Amino acid sequence: MNTSAPARAAGSVAIRVVACESTSNHRRRAHRARRSRVIATAAAEGAEEANDPTQTPAGPAAVRFGIRAELDYGEALIVVGGAKELGSWEPESGFALTWSDGNVWQGDLATLTNDAPENSVHSTAVEFKLVVVKPDWGGYWWEEGENRLIDMELVRTGCEVSGAFGGHVKVNAVEGGATPAAGSEPLTHAQKAAQRAVANVQEYPEAVMQAAPPPPPPPPPPPDVPFTENAPTDQSPATAAEVATPPQPVMVIPKINLPPPPPPATKEWQGGGPEWKWHRDKDQERAKMEEARNRSDGGVNLPEGPAKYIAAGDKEAPSWLQKLELIQSILGQGHRITLARLGAASVYLRWISTGALFCAEDGNHHRPNRPAEIARDIFVSLETVAGELYKHGAEVGEAERQMMRQIHPWLPSFSSEFACSEPLTRIRNIAHRSDISEDLKKQIKHTIQNKLHRNAGPEDLVATEAFIKRITVDAHPGECPQAFVDEFMLFYDELKRFFNCSGAIERLDAMYDTFEDETRARVQELKEAMWALDDGSAGHDGLTGNEGQAIYRALRASIDVRGIFTGGLSTGMRNDAPDEAVSQRQAWRLAEIAIEELAFVVLARALQSAGAGVEGEGDEKTSHFANALNSGDASMWGCAAAAAAGGMRHMALSMWRPMQCDAVARELEAWVQHGSPIATQEDALRCRASLQRARRLVEAHTQALIDGFGDTPVGLGKSFGIQEHVGGTFVDAVIRANVSFQLSRLISPMLRAATWAAGSDTAGYDAIVLGGPVVGILQECDRLEPGAVKENWHKGRVAPVVALVWGADGDEEVSAAGKQVRGVVLARDLPHLSHLAIRARQEQVPLASTEDEETRNYARYLVGQWVFFHVTPEGVILAPATDAQIAAYEADAARISKAEPPTAAPAAPAPEPVPETNAEAESMDDVAWEKNVKKKGKGKKGKGQKEKVKKTSTPEPKVAETKVTAQGTVQFSDKLECRPLGDATKETGGAKASVCGELTHFAERPEAGFKAPPGVFVPFGVMETCMREAGKGDELTKLIAALDAAAAPDDPDPAAIEDACKAVRDLIECVPFPADLAAQIAAAMPTNSWVVVRSSANVEDLAGMSAAGLYESVLGVSTSSAAELGSAVQEVWASLYSRRAVMARRAAGLKQADAHMAVLVQEMAPATVSFVLHTAAVSGADNTRGADGFAPSRTLEAEIAVGLGETLASGARGTPWRLEIDQTSGDVRTTAFASLSTAIMMHKHAMHLGMKTVAVDYSRQELSTDREQRDTLGRRLAAVGAALEAEYGAPQDIEGCVVGDDVYIVQSRPQPL
C-alpha cells in the first residue's frame, strides 16, 4: 500500500481530461486486478490559456474539482492537503469527492484557507494530494509524486482543478468559452484536418511525450499522520460513512456529444513522444535496438505456447517489421489458427501499436510495402476460415471468430498505394520543398521521411501528429506557407490510411464512390443520423422524446450499413483471390468493425438519455431508468426494447451466435408492440424469458473473450516488464469497449423489472425442490459427480454440505457427489422436471438455481462458511449461519447419533436364480404385478394389452443363461438377434424397453388418447454373444473383472479407473458389428427411416441411483447405413462402462459385473414440441396420500420445449414452458415461458436430411403468443397423464412429444415423490 507523505516540492502541468464510457458490471469478475485502475488522457494547453481574459470564475465555488480515476468497487477519492477544508493533511478529515459519469470525481469548495504561516514560502499556494480510501477501513492509497499546488490568487476568482489520479493535474481559472467571430470564412478540408490533428497532439504534451520512467517505490507514511491498518480513529461515524461509502447516484442525466472525432492512431498511445532529429545518429539507434531486445525476459516463466514463443522471439525483433513477422510466423498462411495464438497475437499487436512496447530500428532498410505484405498474408490466413457460409481451411469456432476481430484493427493497410515498390513518397517531396527553411527540411527528413522509409512503425504517426502542431500552433507567423501545410495534411491522411486509424465515417467517405446507389443512400442516412446527434438538433429530452428517436435512427442506420458489409464478408475468402479483391475485403472488414464501435457510442447515448444513472453497484436498481421500467411505463419499455434489440442485432453482425441474437431481437420488439410487456404476470414472465436469453448471450460473449485471452496479458506483461495494471486490466478494457458491455447495462435493469412484475424471487433464485432449513458448510464444485464434494469433519463427524454447483447436465445424482450433501444451489437455470430435480426431490435435498450475477457472487463469497439454506414457495434463503443455528445442528446430530443402533452388517446377497425358463419368470412377474395392482386398488392391465401380447408373442427360444442379481433377474440371449418391442420384458430387455413395449399396446386402445412409436430391442446377452463370436469373450470378462478391482478400494485411483473403463469401451467398439444383426434391425424399421438408439440397462431406476442420462442415446441414425446403425448400437453398449457410469454404480454399491445392457431402437418422429409430464404436483401442496399409500393428485405439471426431447434431457441452459393443470377444474396456469436458445428438429419436409439445430424465435411460437394454445395443449396432456396414472396405479413421470395433431408417449415410469 502506498501511504506516502506529501512531498515538499510541487509542479503542475496543465492538461485536459477526456471522459469516456465505463460500467461496473464486470468489476467483480475474477480477472479484474485488485488494485485501482487509473486511466488518463492528457492534453497540452497553450501558455496563454491560463491568462485568457475571456475565462470566467467558477461561480459560487472557490475551487471546483474534477479528477478522473477508475477505482475498484467500494473505494472513494478524497483530497488531502495543507488547508483545514482539505483535512490539514489528516486523511480522516479530507475533502471527499463525489463519483460522476465517466469516472470523474467531482466536488466544490466554497472556501479554501491556507494553513501555512503568512509570508512563508508556502503562503501563496495550498499544497495537496489525491488519496484513495480503501473499503472496510482498509487504509489509504496516496498518489505518488510531488505535492500539487493551488494558487491562492486563482482561488480568489474561482478556479478548477482537473486531471487524473496519479497523472497530470492542472489548476486554472474556469473557461468561459469564446464564440467564433461572425462572418469568419469556412474552413478548408486541410484546415479542418489540421485542427483535428492538433487536437490529437494536444492529448500528448511534452510532459508525457518522453519515455515514462518506472514508478518510484511508495514513499513512507507522513510523520504527522500516523496510520496502521484497522487502527481506530477519532473520526466520527458520520464522517466515516461519508468518506468510505461509494457515491450514490444523482438524478442528473448527463449528455454526450456524438459522434467523436475520427480516432487517431495515438488515441491509446502509451509510449514516449517523438525526438526531433537533424541528422541520423547510428549510435543512438544501436542503443535503442539493444534496449528493445533486452526488454523481454524471453518468457522464462511462461508455459510452453504462443505467449512464450512471442516473448522469446521479441528478443530478436526490435523493429515493428520484425514484430509483425513474429506474428506472421504463428498466424500467417499455412499456420493453424487457434484460440491461444489469436489471444497472444492480439495482446502483442495492441501493445506494439500503442507504444506499450516500443519499436526500434533494426539496422536494415525496408520500405513500408514490406509490412503491408506481411499484413496481407495474416489477413488472408484469417479471412479464409472466417466465413459464415463458405470457408476454406480448418474449421474455427465462435470464440476464434471473436478473437480474429481483435487482430484486424492493428494490422497496416495493404492497398495498392502501400503495396507498391515505393509507397508514401509524398513526404520525400515535402522534405525537399523550396518554400520552407533548411532547418525544417532537416527535421522532416530525419524525424519522419528517412525513419519511415527505413523502419516504419506506429511511432511515425505520433511524430507526424506532433509535427502538425509544430507547423501550425507553434509556428511563427509566415514560417509555414499554407500550401506546405496543406501538402503535409495530405501526407498525414495517407499515413492514417496506412496505419488503419480512420473512424467509421472517414472510412465510409473514402469508399463512397465505390458503392451502389442503394448503399450510398444508406450511408448518407447514417451520416445524417450521426450529425443530428452531434449538432444538438436532436435535443436532450430523453430516450422517450426526440432524442430517443434520433438515437434509434442512428442505431437502425448503423445496422443497415453494417449489414451490407457483413453480407459481403459472409463467405470465406479464396486464398488465390486477386490483390484488389483482398484489399477491398480488408477495407470492408475494418469498416464494419468501425461501425460496431460507433454503435457502442450510440448505445451509451441511449443509456444516458434514459437516465440510467451513475454506472456503479446498485445504481441500476434506483436510477430513473430502473424506476420507469418498474412502473411499467410502456413508452420507456418500448424505447429500451428497441435499443436492446439494436444491440443484439449488432452482436449478430459480429458473428456471435447470429441466429440466436436476431431471434432475441425480434422477441423484444414483439413483446412491446401492444403496450407494456409487463402489464400482466404472464406478460412479465414472457418478457423475462427473452431478457434471460439476451443476458446469457451477453455473458457467453464476455466469457469467450475472457477465455480467448486467458492469462496471456498478465504473463506477457510480466515478461516484458510492463506495469502490472496494464496486463491485469487488459481483458477488462477490451470487454468494456464492446457492444455487449453496453447491452449488459441495458438488459440488467430490464430483467430486474420483469422479474419483479412476474412475482418471481427478486433475490434471483428459482425454487426447484422445496426443503430445509439446512445448516451446513458451503462448498463449490463444477458438477455433482463422485468425489466432487470433500468431507469436512466437525466435532468427530462429517459435517453436512450445501453444494454450490456451477454446471449440470440435468441428469446427475445428488448422492453420487457425497452422502453429506444436504442442499444444492445451482448457478444456472434448470428444468423443474429434470432428472436431477427428480432425484433431489426423492432424496429430500432442497434445490434452488440462479443465474443472477449478484446472487452467484454472494454465494461464492460464502464458500467455506457455515450457512443457513431454506427453499420455500415464498423464496430462497442462503445466509451465514448464526451461532444458535450451528449449535442447534450440533445438538440434533448428537441426539441422532445416540439414537442410531449399531451399524448392521451388509445385507446378504439375493439367492441364486430359480427361474429356469422365460415362461416361468414371466408367470412369476405376472403374479407379482397382479398382487401390486390389488394392493394399490387402482387400475389393471387392460384386456387389449394382454390379448395383444398373447396374440403377437412367439415362443421364445431357450436362453443360454439366466442370472439373478441384486437388481433382479436377467435373461441372456445367445443369438445375434433383435425382437419386436412389444415382446420386451424387464428380464430380457430391461425396464425401459419393457415399458415402451407396453405403451405400444396401450396406445392401440381407443380411449388412450396418444400414440407410441414402434421399434425393436436388442436383448441382454447379444453384446456378449457378439464378443464371443469375435473371439473376445474371455478378454471382455477379464477387463470387466479388472474394472471391478480398480473401483473396489475406498479411495480408488481415478486414473486407474479411467484406464480400465477405456480398455473395456475400446474392446467393445473395435469388434466389427455383425452385418446380419444390422440388417435385421433395418428390416424391422420403415425403409430409409431415421431412428433413435437408446439404452435399456438392468441398472436403471434403482434406489439411490436413477441412472438417468448415464448411458448414451444416439439420435438421428439412418437405417439405410448398416455401418452407422452398428456403430450406434456399439456406442450404447460401450456407454455402460463410461467412467461416470462406473463411479455412479460404485457409489450405489453395485458390482460392475452385474451391469448389463440391452438396446432399444425406435423410429424418430418430427416433433413440433416435446414434453415431460408429472402427474403429481412436485410443489408438495397436492401430494396427499390415502390410507393405501396413494391418492390421485389434483394438479399435473408439464415442461415443454420446441423440437426433440433431447433439448429437455441435455441440460441446455434456459427454461422450458411450465404449465400447471388442475384436473378438477381444467384450469391451466403458465408459471414460466420458454427461454431455451436452440432446438433439435427433424427436417419436416425432407426427413432424409436427418436432424438440424435451430435457434428458436419465440415471437413465432404459438405457445408463447397464444394463451388458448397453451390451455388446449395443457388439458390434452393432463388427460393422457391421468390415463397412464390410472393404468399403472401410481403417479407417473412421462416423456413424449407432439407431432402435428398427435401426442406420442415414449416413456412412462413411476414418479419419485
Cα atoms in the Cβ-side hemisphere of radius 13 Å centred on 1164: 31
Bridge partners, residue 1294, by sequence: 1173, 1308
Cβ atoms of residues 781 and 753 within 8 Å:
no
Distance CA 1146, CA 790 (A): 17
Q: How far apart are CA 140 and CA 135, in angstroms?
A: 9
Question: Which of 835, 870, 1001, 1174 is the catalytic position?
Answer: 835
| Beta carbons within 8 Å of 967's beta carbon, 6+ residues apart | 1098, 1099, 1102, 1150, 1154
Tell me how far apart the alpha carbons of residues 267 and 1159 are, in angstroms, rounded to a whole number: 64
Residue 835 annotated as catalytic? yes
SS3 category, 1157: strand
The CA-based angle 475-478-480, given to 5 degrees, is 60
Adjacency order of strands within the sheet including 169-173:
98-100, 104-109, 63-68, 159-164, 169-173
3-state secondary structure of 1252: strand
User: Could you tell me where the beta strands, DSSP code E, fall in 110-174?
Assistant: 125-133, 140-142, 148-151, 159-164, 169-173
Alpha-carbon gap, residue 1030 to 1024, rounded angstroms? 10
From the CA atom positions of the chain, what is the Rg in Å?
Answer: 36
Residues 811, 1109 contacting (CB under 8 angstroms): yes
Return the C-alpha torsion angle 1034, 1039, 1042, 1044, nearest 10.
Answer: -100
Please tell me whether the peptide bond between 773 and the residue prior to it is cis, using omega within 30 degrees of 0. Answer: yes
Task: List all residues 6 or more positions away from 894 whose beta carbon is below 8 Å from its beta carbon.
Answer: none
Alpha-carbon span 1157 to 990, nearest angstrom = 8
Cα angle 195, 197, 199; round to 5: 70
Alpha helices for 411-481 (secondary structure H): 416-419, 426-431, 438-444, 450-455, 459-471
Closest CA to 1131 of 1119, 1152, 1114: 1114
- Alpha-carbon gap, residue 1009 to 1278, rounded angstroms: 11
Give every CB contact of residue 1103 below 8 A, 6+ residues apart in sequence. Answer: none
Which residues are registered as beta bridge partners of 111? Answer: none
Q: Residue 945 is which amino acid?
A: Q
All residues at 6 or more sequence positions from 310 whose CB lies less than 8 Å from its CB, including other chains: 299, 326, 327, 330, 344, 345, 348, 716
CA distance 327 to 347: 11
Contact 811, 789 (CB under 8 A): no
- The cell numbers describing 793, all together, are 469433519
**DSSP labels for 279-297?**
S--HHHHHHHHHHHHHS--
Q: What is the largest CA-CA distance in the chain?
A: 119
What is the Cα–Cα distance from 702 to 26, expressed in whole angstroms? Answer: 9
| Dihedral over Cα of 922, 925, 927, 933: its sign | negative
Q: Which residues pair with 1304 in a beta bridge?
A: 1011, 1297
**Active site residue ranges:** 835
